[in-house]
Amino acid sequence: MATINFGGVDEHVVTREEFPLKKAVETLKNETIAVLGYGVQGPGQSLNLRDNGFNVIVGQRKNSSSWKKALKDGWIPGENLFELEEAAERGTILQYLLSDAGQIAQWQMVKSKLSDGKTLYFSHGFGITYNQKTGIVAPKNIDVILVAPKGSGTSLRKLFLEGKGLNSSYAVHQNYSGNAHNKAIALGIGVGSGYLFETTFKKEVFSDLTGERGILMGALAGLFEAQYNTLRKYGHSPSEAFNETVEELTQSLMPLVAENGMDWMYANTSTTAQRGALDWRHKFRNATTPVFEELYNKVSSGEEAQVVINANAEADYRIKLNKELKEIRESELWQAGKKVRLLRPENN
């Protein structure tokens, strides 16, 4: 484990050089990794593990859309694709990758399969951290670990196939075997992490829920809408408003920030853009900091978790969700975006 200074703070990270794939495979050579759930994270993690030479099986509800996807991905019923219960029985490491709501619903079944010495693996700290709400309290005679890729399962798989990696956090909640840290790191390397940084279940879920509701999705979508609507209000065309709001950010500027940092991006834009951006960033930071404070407090108090649990318990949740997504999809902003994407050179 290397200690790296990030902006004046020392952090422990694990790289592929320190913990190579060969060592990861050797660490888990006697384990059967059962990936329970084939939705958001399941496909990417299981396929990467399989391609990296680990002993992997998948558990999924038979004849569901995810079961059919698993069949298309080459998983074979009765060989490495099973119903959830059988996969949980066969596995020595249970990667619990159902949705948070699914984890609550299946917990009693999964708990019954956690015999002495098994390992329970999460990619999200939700179930364990908010156990008073979820009921997910692990038996004491197992290891409980976490590897949380910092992105979607689709991105995890895509980067893996490109020979790259998606950074992940890892944590150990229970170290019954005395080898839980090595298991977590081996699995992190196996699923295709670029590097691994240490955290806790609580910190993972607090940062994750804040990020999803904040800059990663909620805040970004809200800022898109605010700027687009303002430009349209003052007579700019849908094409101009979308290009200036979304297209330039996603296709030009964010790749530069990802490669070289914000200061480099500023240094390589016009002096007009530099001056305005440097001045206005303070206004946006000061305006949104109270919102982020409110958000973090609601996450850490468990209020946001309860909102999620309550919403997923509603029988018509999917109907309401589809209605909300339809509203976004059919808005002028994203209808303009659909047209703009079609006009990209690679689509013509």
Helix (H) or strand (E) holding 198: strand 195-198
DSSP state of 136: -
Task: Tell me the Cα Rg of the chain.
Answer: 22
CA–CA dist 337, 347 (Å, integer): 14
**Residue 177 to residues 118, 144, 193, Cα–Cα distance (Å):** 9, 10, 24
Exposed/middle/buried for 41, CB within 10 Å: 0-12, 13-18, 19+?
A: buried
List the catalytic residue out of 12, 124, 173, 282: 124
CA–CA dist 243, 258 (Å, integer): 20
Residues in the chain: 348
The two three-digit tokens of residue 193, written as one number: 């992490």
Helix (H) or strand (E) holding 95: strand 93-96
**Is 181 known to be catalytic?**
no
- Asked whether the beta carbons of 253 and 265 are under 8 A apart, the reply is yes
Sheet holding 9-15, edge to edge: 2-6, 9-15, 195-198, 168-174, 143-149, 119-122, 93-96, 33-36, 56-59, 81-82
DSSP track, 236-299: --HHHHHIIIIIHIIIIIHHHHHHH-HHHHHHTS-HHHHHHHHHHHHHHHHHHHHHHHHHHHHH
- Active-site residue set: 124
